[in-house]
Structure 1
Amino acid sequence: MYAAHFGLREAPFGITPDTSYFFGSPRSQEALNTLLVATRNGEGFIKITGEVGTGKTLLCRKFMATLGEGFVTAYIPNPFLEARTLMLALADELEIALDKDVDQHRLLKAIMERLLGLAGQGKRVVLCIDEAQAIPVESMEALRLLTNLETEKRKLLQIVLFGQPELNRKLELESIRQLAQRITFHYHLGPLSRDDLDFYVAHRLRVAGFTGARLFSGGAVARLYKASGGVPRLVNILAHKALMLCYGEGGHSVSRTHIEAAARDTMATSRKSRRLLPWAALGALLAGAAASVGWAMTR
């Protein structure tokens, strides 16, 4: 919609995880380094936590893309599965052919044989589980048992859990204390700092093709940090809406006013309001431009 207007190849602030937009802030780079060191050391369980919107899924995808040819990765994005179904999902990720009515013994044997075969090829297998706070307790125990599979040299399967802070509380349960004790590497992914957010915005714009000096004013960035708290997903939502507002005016620089209007609209949406963004308040700015491009932002 607004890409050509601002000299962009594509919209820079999408909320779908895209590794080409991965921003190596000190915190995200530390988290990535923790993952790489832990997996290369052969640790059985690794944990990454973070609040909603702090970039866990993007970090997970960047991590898998960075591991290299010596690793085979399996990815389960929705682990709210009972133990057997979780094992079937792992088998599917490892491309294991199974009979439709395979029993539990043959399922585990097939997984074991596949892991041994990959180990024989010099491959390490890493299972990444997103939204890990949703794993049922019984399935957590099944995962622990899977990490018991090992050769004399190393584990046959390493598991990385990506989850919200609720994952920590689940791991405190007495029934899965053995799993919690096996997590030797962990990292909590926090929000962006004020300075990092400035670089983050510039980074995403550059990746999207922007070659100008500055598209977001200093005041806009300051307001963006205050409104988002440095949470990348909120930054993306607000920056995208602000660009739409600026485009609707026919402008070429995002101001504090644009961010404030985007923040008001986002807060209204979070209260489940179905109204339009407050065009009446911005009518004098948008009426002519919006009419010329035939554009409006709706829910």
Structure 2
Amino acid sequence: MYQAHFGLIELPFTLTPNTSFYCDLESHKAAFEVLVTALEAGEGFIKVVGEVGTGKTLLCRKLLNELPEKYVTAYIPNPYLTPSEMRAHVARELQVDAPTEQSEQLLTQAIQERLVNISRDGKMAVIIVDEAQALPTETLEALRLISNLETESRKLLHIVLFGQPELDERLATREHRQLRQRITFSYQLQAMTLPEVARYISHRLHVAGYQGARLFPARVVGMLHRASRGIPRLVNILCHKVLLLCYGEGVYQVHPRHVRFAVADTEDVSLPTFQRWWWSLAGIAGVAVLLWLSWQQGWFTEYLS
């Protein structure tokens, strides 16, 4: 790909939530502090909501990686589970000795006994749910019931929900009012500001090993910020495409035309109406080059998977 062209040791703008590329953006930093503070306070439910592409999964992975040893975690990356499947998954994650008899009541009892033992060891059990907006209603209710497990003085289980704004919409309904009242800490992830986009791009290039001259001039960063609305995932997609175009042309700095070409080939970007037709026309040739380069380098495999 373009790694050798720019002297990179790895690709800087992939969509994989790689925590080594974590950039301490203000919104992510504040969200992480809320999570740590809430867990230390021993609260039951904690919620982090953000639009698609704002870095929820990356933040989730960072939390999992950096929680101290006193936390015993159960991670649910795919929450589209039935209540029975959810309990079984939690039991496996917490290393519960499952009963030989197939019984939901016995499994719940075994989970409670495991939670009591974790608490006696001076540790804390945490369930972390990614994409929580996809939880079926019955499973969301089962999760609330599991959170009822407690001693006379403290909760035995703490639950962190990461989700899209649809999660708030679901919790606002009458049927989920009991769970809504259990959420004591919440945070809304924000898109990046223009200075943060500049720092984000520079940070990822640095982590990827770039040591050359400035790749992204201020004007280009401004265009990327406007087109992406400051959403990290869209910034990654656009930056990856403009670097592919630079590589195809054999140049070592991103120009506005590269951004126009990349934008013309990208869904869900924001452009003023009066500019949209021009950017689309200007991108036709660039799209053809980008598609050819992407196909040759196998980039579609990652982004379509």
By the TM > 0.5 criterion, same fold?
Answer: yes
Map 1:104-123 → 2, pairs under 5 A: 104-123=104-123
Alpha-carbon distance in structure 1 between the residues aligned to 2:258 and 2:101: 58
Map 1:153-164 → 2, pairs under 5 A: 153-164=153-164
Determine helix, strand or coil for the equivalent of 1:155: coil
Could you tell me how far 1:259 is from its partner in structure 2? Answer: 1.3
Map 1:98-247 → 2, pairs under 5 A: 98-99=98-99, 102-247=102-247
- Say if 1:118 and 1:266 are closer, same or farther in 2 by CA, change over 3 A: same
Map 1:11-26 → 2, pairs under 5 A: 11-26=11-26
In structure 2, what residue type is equivalent to 1:2?
Answer: Y
Map 1:249-260 → 2, pairs under 5 A: 249-260=249-260
Using the TM superposition, name which of 170-179 and 54-63 deviates more: 170-179
Q: Paired residues, what number? A: 287
Q: State the partner residue of 1:281.
A: 285
Contact 1:27–1:189 (Cα < 8 Å) also in 2: yes
Determine helix, strand or coil for the equivalent of 1:203: helix
- Say if 1:154 and 1:259 are closer, same or farther in 2 by CA, change over 3 A: same
Contact 1:221–1:256 (Cα < 8 Å) also in 2: no
Q: Deviations over 1:29-67 (max 9, x none)?
A: 000100010011101000000110000000111112121
Contact 2:2–2:244 (Cα < 8 Å) also in 1: yes
Q: What are structure 2's unaligned runs of at least 5 residues?
A: 270-281, 301-305
Alpha-carbon distance in structure 2 between the residues aligned to 1:195 and 1:69: 36
Contact 1:83–1:138 (Cα < 8 Å) also in 2: yes
Could you tell me how far 1:98 is from its partner in structure 2? Answer: 2.4
Percent identity (aligned): 49
Could you tell me how far 1:295 is from its partner in structure 2? Answer: 4.7
Q: State the partner residue of 1:31.
A: 31
- Say if 1:151 and 1:32 are closer, same or farther in 2 by CA, change over 3 A: same
In structure 2, what residue type is equivalent to 1:10?
Answer: E
In structure 2, what residue type is equivalent to 1:237?
Answer: I
Determine helix, strand or coil for the equivalent of 2:161: strand
4+ aligned runs moved over 3 Å, structure 1: 294-299
Alpha-carbon distance in structure 2 between the residues aligned to 1:100 and 1:110: 11
Q: State the partner residue of 1:68.
A: 68
Q: CA RMSD in A?
A: 2.5
Contact 1:116–1:156 (Cα < 8 Å) also in 2: yes
In structure 1, what residue type is equivalent to 2:117?
Answer: G
Contact 2:264–2:284 (Cα < 8 Å) also in 1: no
Could you tell me how far 1:118 is from its partner in structure 2? Answer: 1.2
Q: Deviations over 1:9-35 (max 9, x none)?
A: 100001010111111111110001000
Could you tell me how far 1:257 is from its partner in structure 2? Answer: 1.2
- Say if 1:222 and 1:80 are closer, same or farther in 2 by CA, change over 3 A: same
Could you tell me how far 1:213 is from its partner in structure 2? Answer: 3.7
Q: Deviations over 1:78-118 (max 9, x none)?
A: 11112111111111111224257520111101111111111
Q: Deviations over 1:232-252 (max 9, x none)?
A: 000001100110010111111
